[in-house]
Amino acid sequence: MRRVACIALLATLVASACSSSPDTEDRIPTTKGAPTPGQEVFPVIASSEIVVGTNRLQIGLIDTNDAPVRSPETTLRVAFVGPGDEEPTSKSTMSFLWTIKPVQGLWVGEAFFGTPGEWEALIEVVGGGYDASVGTTFEVKQEGTTPQIGEKGPGVDTPTSSDVADLSEITTDSDPDPRFYELSIAEALKAGRPAVIVFATPKFCSSQVCGPTLTIVKDVSRRFPGVNFVHVEPYDLDKVPEELEPVPAVTAWGLPSEPWVFVTDGRGQVAGKYEGSVAPSELTQLLRSL
């Protein structure tokens, strides 16, 4: 009898010791945006600032092996359903754009959202061997923190080459283009020319998206001698890597993340803004139009 009680007690102890398995308590799966079983691709909304009005929306696709899909022949036909709506109220056809060929690319398109709240994207993935329907949800805010298209960019006295003995004091770019450090943001906005302002940190952000952003803009800059270019390190270089403190320009421009690229026209008004990545073709097209 005692033996039975002892075994029962042991069984209870073992069972309770095993009760916090990694798949239950320690690893808590979320169902948010969970893929539909059997779907070929998983959509990821790659824009963090989506606001009421017209947006440049970026969507990435991940395949069943969790690898990014790179397929220029594939088009996304997206229908957007607003909060409380049964039917889509806006649509967008999104094309694939290489940011770094053949490594990095996303589907980019204009999308209009009339109200804030949680929206649903119903995405038809067609072409390039794909024929799938997938969906995801995302948040639309009433307004963003970065300057809106048409707004004047905040004039900030960012450091220039004339303020330092060596460019390494104001840039982490290992091969800096002096042209990007001749003017402060404030000077570039008042110069009466279009300007491209790049917030990026090549050294402290060396991912496939972040690191090459400045390189992409530098490449494009060679075709536009009449445009001013300004590179701003988002973190205070006197404090990194111990402290990642944003510089005043980051706060003034309301950046939620990095990198960002802004294009302003000859009046200093924002003509385009790109979060995360910008395709050379997009930047070239906009600069030609100014």
Partner 1 sequence: MMRRSFVVGLGLVLILGACSGEGSNGPREIVGLVVDIQSGGGFGEVKSFTVKEGDEQFEIFVDPDVTYDFPLAHLNAHRAGAEPVRVEAETRGGKLFAVAIGDA
* Contact status: 20 vs partner 1 (CB under 8 A): yes
- Position 76 contacts partner 1 (CB under 8 A): no
Residue 21 binding partner 1, by CB under 8 A: yes
Q: Exposed, middle or buried by CB within 10 Å (0-12, 13-18, 19+), for 266?
A: middle
CB 232 within 8 A of CB 198: yes
Among 26, 87, 166, 175, binds partner 1 (CB under 8 A): 26
Choose which of 82, 194, 259, 268 interacts with partner 1 (CB under 8 A).
259
Tell me how far, at minimum, the Cβ of 33 lies from partner 1, in Å.
Answer: 6
Is residue 217 part of the contact set for partner 1 (CB under 8 A)? no
DSSP string, 53-65: EEEEEEEEEEETT
Out of 88, 128, 246, 266, the only residue in the binding site for partner 1 (CB under 8 A) is 246
Residues 208, 103: contact at Cβ < 8 Å? Answer: yes
Task: Provide the residue count of the chain.
Answer: 290
HSE, CB side, 13 Å, CA atoms: give it for residue 177: 17
- How many residues contact partner 1, by CB under 8 A? 59
Could you give the 3-state DSSP secondary structure of residue 250? helix
- Give the range of 176-184, 188-196, 265-273, 275-283 binding partner 1 by CB under 8 A: 275-283
The yes or no reply on residue 133 touching partner 1 (CB under 8 A) is no
Instruction: Give Cα separations from 217 to 18, 157, 210, 250 (angstroms).
Output: 55, 21, 12, 19
* CA–CA separation, 207 and 200 (whole Å): 11
- Is residue 13 involved in binding partner 1 (CB under 8 A)? yes
How near is the Cβ of 224 to partner 1 at its closest, in Å?
Answer: 25
Residue type, 25: E
Considering only CA atoms, which of 97, 81, 67, 75 is closest in space to residue 136?
81
Residue 60 corresponds to which amino acid? G
Residue of 1, 4, 38, 67 that binds partner 1 (CB under 8 A) = 67
Residue 213, phi then psi, degrees to nearest 5: -55, -50
Query: Minimum distance between the CB of residue 14 and partner 1, rounded to whole angstroms?
Result: 5
> Would you count residue 207 as binding partner 1 (CB under 8 A)?
yes
The reply on whether position 256 binds partner 1 by CB under 8 A is: yes
Q: Least distance (Å) from partner 1 to the CB of residue 60?
A: 6
- 215 binds partner 1, rule: CB under 8 A: no
Q: How far is the CB of 49 from partner 1 (least distance, A)?
A: 9
Q: What is the dihedral of CA 211, 108, 142, 123, to 10 degrees?
A: -130
**Contact between 14 and partner 1 per CB under 8 A:** yes
Q: Provide the minimum distance between the beta carbon of 223 and partner 1 in the complex, in angstroms, as a whole number.
A: 25
Backbone region of residue 155 per phi and psi (left: phi > 0; alpha: psi in -120 to 50; beta: other values): beta
Q: For residue 255, state whether it binds partner 1 (rule: CB under 8 A).
A: yes
Q: Does 86 bind partner 1 (CB under 8 A)?
A: no
Three-class DSSP category at 112 = strand
Residues found near partner 1 in the complex (CB under 8 A) = 3, 6-7, 9-10, 13-14, 17-22, 25-35, 42, 44-46, 48, 58, 60, 62, 66-68, 104, 106, 145, 204-205, 207-210, 234-235, 241, 244, 246, 250-251, 255-259, 275-277
